[in-house]
Amino acid sequence: QKVMTEITTETLENIDLRGLGMNHLAYLREGEMDGMKGFVIYAADGSILGFAPGRTKAIAAIMQNDMELVSLQ
């Protein structure tokens, strides 16, 4: 018999997202680096993974690293 654990927002703060397999998820935000506008690539835990001058290149970088782009609402 499987036992399921309820995860609440309170416990989410204490869980390592990488342990949930979320190290394969990334999201984008418009940003600026060294005076250049583009897209900052973030891991699910909010750490910066990289920067690309355009959205298409940012998505390509995510895919090349076997990650999945997620949309934040």
Read off the pTM.
0.69
Scanning the structure block, which residue is given the tokens 């001058």?
A: 53
Q: Model confidence over 7-50: pLDDT tens digits?
A: 444 444 445 555 555 678 899 999 998 999 999 999 888 889 99
d(CA 49, CA 24): 12
pLDDT of residue 18: 53
d(CA 72, CA 12): 17
More confident residue, 51 or 46: 51
d(CA 47, CA 7): 22
